Amino acid sequence: METIRLELTGIEKRYGMRRVLRDFALVAEGGEVVAITGANGSGKSTVVKLVAGLLRASKGKIALTVGTVDESEPERRRQLCGYVSPDLTLYPELTARENLRFFCDVRGASPEGIAATLEWVGLGGREDDPIGQYSSGLRQRVKLALAALFEPPILLLDEAGLALDEKGVAVVESLVAQQKTRGGLTLIATNDSREAALAQRVIAL
Ligand SMILES: Nc1ncnc2c1ncn2[C@@H]1O[C@H](COP(=O)(O)OP(=O)(O)OP(=O)(O)O)[C@@H](O)[C@H]1O
């Protein structure tokens, strides 16, 4: 993968009168795994959504370079981030396979790896059930499959271990390991010490 550099400087985020982040800064490069920890409501998900281009900062700058290309525009960052989050909504009336196919279409990504990826996250045999009928842990695995399928330059894991059993947690661990090996960047927002332990660096909010 091309070299990746993400830099957040002087970030402030306000929701109305509530200021969540103040002068937040972060520099991270491809191959790195960085965890963002902090109490409930401290702003972990907010940082992830800012990086993903899903929210705009009230102040400050987010710069992303991939190779020699400036990819700082929020629309570009949205394309370049794989996002696993409780706030990511899948289509309950579609099957796992159909959800993945849909998101591949939206991204212009190849649907080629869908079957293998669903197998890899442990959804073999359930891929053609509507995900509205899934348990929460199975639904979480669909989100992991989606992130794995895109092989994104930046992998954003917000509470990625949510509802997962031991095997599911192992999937998260291999997802992070693969991302690292590919030279991609990983940001983990979590309060789970096991997930934070996957990172080389922890930023406490
Ligand atoms: N859309 C929104 N409108 C208003 N306030 C918001 C919005 N999104 C988040 N907040 C507030 O911003 C603060 C930080 O929220 P955020 O979800 O980033 O925290 P977090 O650290 O991820 O929390 P948790 O550990 O509970 O997931 C909270 O006080 C939350 O209520």
Q: What is the mean pLDDT of the chain?
A: 96
Mean pLDDT for 91-118 is 94
Residue 19 near ligand 1, beta carbon < 6 Å: no
Distance CA 170, CA 52 (A): 25
Q: What is the tens place of the pLDDT at every residue in 53-87?
A: 999 999 999 999 999 999 999 999 999 999 999 99
H/E segment holding residue 197: none
Digit-coded pLDDT (tens) for 166-176: 999 999 999 99
- Between CA 60 and CA 8 the distance in angstroms is 7
pLDDT beyond 90 at 197: yes
- Domain span at residue 83 reads 4-204
Q: What's the total number of domains in the chain?
A: 1
pLDDT digits (tens, 9 = 90+) for 128-142: 999 999 999 999 999
In ligand 1, the atom with minimum distance to the C-alpha of 86 is 27
CATH code of the domain covering residue 97: 3.40.50.300
State how far the Cα of 52 lies from the Cα of 85, in Å rounded to an integer: 11
Give the 3-state secondary structure of residue 40. Answer: coil
**Three-class DSSP category at 95:** strand
**Torsions phi, psi for 83 (to 5 deg):** -125, 115
The confidence band for 108, taking pLDDT boundaries of 50, 70 and 90, is: confident
Which of 18, 24, 51 to mutate to test ligand 1, by most ligand atoms within 8 A of the CB atom?
Answer: 18
Specify the DSSP element, H or E, that contains 138: helix 136-150
Give the ipTM of the model, two decimals please.
0.98
